[in-house]
A = this chain, B = another copy of it.
Amino acid sequence: MAAQDFYGSVSLAVSTVIFALKDRALWVPLVRREREPYKGTWALPGGPLSPGRNLPDSALSTLEATTGLTPSYLEQLYAWGNPERSGGDGHVVSVVYWAALSSTPDQEAKGVAWFPVDGLPSLAFDHAEILDYAVARLRRKVAYSRIAHSFMPETFTLTELREAHEAIVGHPLDPANFARQFRSSPALIDTGRHREGTPFRPPRLYRYDSSLTYADDGALARASSAPDDTQDPTC
């Protein structure tokens, strides 16, 4: 969150809600604020937009600094611009992105900690509201898109994919109906291999046809381009 002291200007920040799956739940990384306002409380990772830099580039570099990882999905969420939202630090408009990671990082950067979305600490600014909104969009989106695949590694089983869906929507899904629905997708490719070392019947391993994924459920935000045709915030 950028501060700008002189009267009469609006500053612009880019923040990112970064989701990853862990222990069948959604987790997000937060950073501890080292300055007033809200010093010592947790906030979304982000920072001022550097002149000459793209919005998604700014989100990606925040992501890299926070997690050391490159996201498998990145999408603009919303712009918040209420003049009072900065806690007396001037008028700050934040363009917020959300991202999906296909793995959780082993070790955290300094000042960064991961929290489950249903056990968040008290947050700085309006970041609790932003996170609520990001979770709501992810929950709605998983129902009509293939966004859950962004949380999967290169190859995965249908049970793992279903558990990702369950973690996001928050309730169990019928394995039979889930399998039928997803096996009919041309983007889901049977690798012919099976997961080894399971205690019982070994499940098939699938991978994703990413060329179809892009066309079907929204693009990874590219550094120089416009929003995808499938973008629409009011579902």
Task: Choose among B55, B81, B91 the residue that contacts A81 (Cβ–Cβ < 8 A).
Answer: B55
A230 in complex: contacting residue of B9, B95, B231, B235, CB < 8 Å: B235
9 residue pairs A–B, Cβ–Cβ below 8 Å: A52-B83, A78-B231, A133-B227, A136-B229, A140-B230, A141-B234, A231-B233, A231-B234, A232-B235
A8 within 8 A of B: yes
Interface residues of A (CB under 8 A from B): 7-12, 49, 51-55, 75-83, 90-91, 93, 95, 126, 129, 133, 136-137, 140-141, 144-145, 147, 217-218, 224, 226-235
Find out whether the CB atom of B54 lies under 8 angstroms from the CB atom of A145: no
CB-defined contacts of A95 to chain B, threshold 8 Å: 79, 81, 93, 95
Write the nearest CB–CB distance from A90 to chain B, whole angstroms.
8
Quick check: A83 and B53 within 8 Å, CB to CB? yes
- Say yes or no: A54-B79 contact (C-beta < 8 A), given A137-B232, A231-B137: no
| A93–B7 CA distance with the chains assembled, in angstroms | 20
In the bound complex, do residue A52 and residue B91 qualify as a contact, i.e. CB atoms below 8 Å apart? yes
Q: Chain B: which residue is nearest A139 at the CB level?
A: B232
Complex: A53 Cα to B90 Cα, angstroms: 12
Q: Could you say which of B82, B145, B227, B231 contacts A224, with CB atoms under 8 Å apart?
A: B82
Residues of chain B within 8 A (CB-CB) of A78 are: 76, 227, 231
A10 touching B51 in the complex, CB below 8 Å, given contacts A95-B93, A133-B226: yes
Question: Nearest-CB distance from A235 to chain B (Å)?
Answer: 4
By a CB distance below 8 angstroms, the chain B residues around A228 are 234
Q: Taking the nearest CB of chain B, how far is it from the CB of A116, in angstroms?
A: 21
Tell me whether B51 and A83 are in contact (CB under 8 A): yes
- Which residue of the partner chain B has the closest CB to A225? B82
Complex-state Cα separation, A53 to B218, whole angstroms: 32
| Beta-carbon nearest neighbor of A217 in chain B | B234
> Which residues in B have their C-beta under 8 angstroms from that of A77?
233
Cβ–Cβ < 8 Å partners of A90 in chain B: 51
Q: Find out whether the CB atom of A79 lies under 8 angstroms from the CB atom of B91.
A: no
